[in-house]
Amino acid sequence: MKVSILADNIVNKRNLIAEHGLSLYIEYNGINILFDTGQSSVYCHNAAIMGIDLQRTDCIILSHGHYDHCGGLIHFPKKGKHPATYAHHQAFCKRYKGNPIEKGYTDIGVPWSLADYPDIQSSMIYSPKMLNPYTGVHILTEIPGSTDFEDIPKGFFIYESERMTQDMFFDEQILVIEADEGLVVFLGCSHPGVINCLKYVRKCFPEQSIYALFAGMHMEKASPLRVEMTIQYMMEYRVRNVVPLHCTGIMAIWEMKRFLNERCHVRATGDILDI
């Protein structure tokens, strides 16, 4: 398996571009998977510089319906039929961030309409709670909460059925790939909590260990206690490789590196990891 970081918040290589977003290109047993598309065409630019032909993509998996993960989908350089695209049915609902008392909402949902892109609309496959699109490739969604220190992030809202309610992130998707060494887990933002996500993976695959975790973890404002508990669970679960990305937060990444040492791999846009 080869994982190429096409878009992330930071970059340290010449001619590549960073943006607040995430896009990974995964090559596994002859299958090419694009996991998220960032917020713009940045991932396309970087793929070309890195020598990756996106037209070889077999499928696209959208981790959840925010602009920084789905915005770039309309820039995908297709020839012919658009690749099968997997998302939860809530991913294209209207989503906002803000203060409901002050009515200060900011639109953070997908910044385009499916109705305007019929080729993308016809390619959509809406994932049930668990889907197995290829041998060894699994998509999990509707992640249950089971920890006592990870809450659904406050200040996120979804507009559905003419009502504005707190976003419970039912649309968050986990990509799980079976490798010889164990499971490789991919998360876009881990809004339900990264340990809740890992617990769900362990529940679905009780006989397999977690070899690697590639994840945005949405911990920029996490308390020191939550960061400590997260690291403790990673150590308890014996996650052998952790690659914190995107929204994990610099301080949380620093703590992971301090305690996990060589098991924590700090990477950026343009980096390629072989498994």
The model's pLDDT over 48-61, given as tens digits with 9 standing for 90+, comes to 999 999 999 999 99
What is the pLDDT confidence band of residue 23, given thresholds at 50, 70 and 90? very high
Residue range 36-45: mean pLDDT, rounded: 98
User: Does the predicted TM-score (pTM) go above 0.95?
Assistant: yes
| DSSP assignment of 4-50 | EEEE-S-B-STT----SS-EEEEEETTEEEEE---SSTHHHHHHHHT
| DSSP assignment of 89-124 | TTTTSEEEEEETTTTEEEE-S-SS-GGG-HHHHHHE
Q: What is the pLDDT of residues 191-238, one digit of tens each?
A: 999 999 999 999 999 999 999 999 999 999 999 999 999 999 999 999
Task: Determine what percent of the chain is predicted with pLDDT higher than 90.
Answer: 91
Predicted local distance difference test score (pLDDT) of residue 99: 76
Lowest mean pLDDT: which of 87-101, 205-219, 232-246? 87-101
Beta strands 59-61 and 84-87, pairing class? parallel
Backbone CA torsion sign across 193, 196, 198, 201: negative
Predicted local distance difference test score (pLDDT) of residue 101: 61
pLDDT, greater one: 190 or 79: 190
Predicted local distance difference test score (pLDDT) of residue 35: 99
3-state secondary structure of 84: strand
Report the mean per-residue pLDDT for the chain. Answer: 96
Inter-residue contact 11 to 268 (CB < 8 Å): yes
Residue range 26-44: mean pLDDT, rounded: 98
Nearest to 172 by CA among 111, 217, 207, 212: 217
Predicted local distance difference test score (pLDDT) of residue 103: 67
Is the pLDDT reported for residue 100 higher than 70?
no
